[in-house]
Amino acid sequence: MIRFGLKKHRAVPHTQAATLRGLLGQRPIVLVGLMGCGKSSVGRRLAGALNLAFADTDHEIEKAAGQTIPEIFAEHGETYFREGERKVIARLLTDGPQVLATGGGAYMDAITRDNIASSAVSVWLKATLPILLERALRRDNRPLLQTDDPEAVMRDLMEKRYPVYAHADVTVESRNVSHETVVGDIIDALLGHLQAERAP
Ligand code: S3P
Q: What is the pLDDT of residue 5?
A: 43
Residue 173 phi/psi, 5° resolution? -75, 125
How remote is the CA of residue 142 from the centroid of ligand 1, in Å? 6
pLDDT at 11: 61
Cα(127) to centroid(ligand 1), Å: 15
Run of H or E including 151: helix 150-165
CA–CA separation, 64 vs 84, rounded Å? 9
Q: How confident is the model at residue 14 (pLDDT cuts 50, 70, 90)?
A: confident
Relative to the CA of 157, which ligand 1 atom is closest? 12
At residue 10, does pLDDT exceed 70?
A: no
**Positive or negative CA dihedral for 178, 154, 124, 29?**
negative
Task: Summarize pLDDT for 121-141 with one digit per residue, the tens.
Answer: 999 999 999 999 999 999 989
- Among protein residues, the one with the nearest Cα to ligand 1's atom 11 is 105
Model confidence at 56: pLDDT above 50 = yes
Residue to mutate, 32, 35, 76, ligand 1, most ligand atoms under 8 Å from C-beta: 35
Give the least confident one: 9-13, 54-58, 100-104, 147-151.
Answer: 9-13
Mean pLDDT, all residues of the chain: 93
Nearest CA to ligand 1 atom 1: 104
Q: How far apart are CA 156 and CA 153, in angstroms?
A: 5
The secondary structure of residue 77, as a DSSP letter, is: -
- Assess whether pLDDT exceeds 50 at residue 9: no
**181 φ, ψ to 5°?**
-65, -45
CA dist., res. 50 & res. 100, Å (int): 13
Q: What share of the chain is helix, strand, coil (3-state, %, to 5)?
A: 60, 10, 30
Q: Which of 92, 49, 7, 54 is nearest to 186 (CA)?
A: 49
> What was the pLDDT predicted at 13?
82
pLDDT at 150 over 60: yes
Pocket test for ligand 1, best of 58, 63, 162 (most atoms within 8 A of CB): 58
Q: How far is CA 53 from CA 99, 101, 127, 150, in A?
A: 6, 11, 25, 33
The answer to whether the beta carbons of residues 125 and 37 sit under 8 Å apart is yes
Residue 186 CB neighbours (<10 A): 26
Asked if residue 2 has pLDDT above 70, the reply is no
Whole-number pLDDT of residue 200: 74
Q: What ligand 1 atom has the least distance to the C-alpha of 36? A: 16
Region 51-80: mean pLDDT is 96
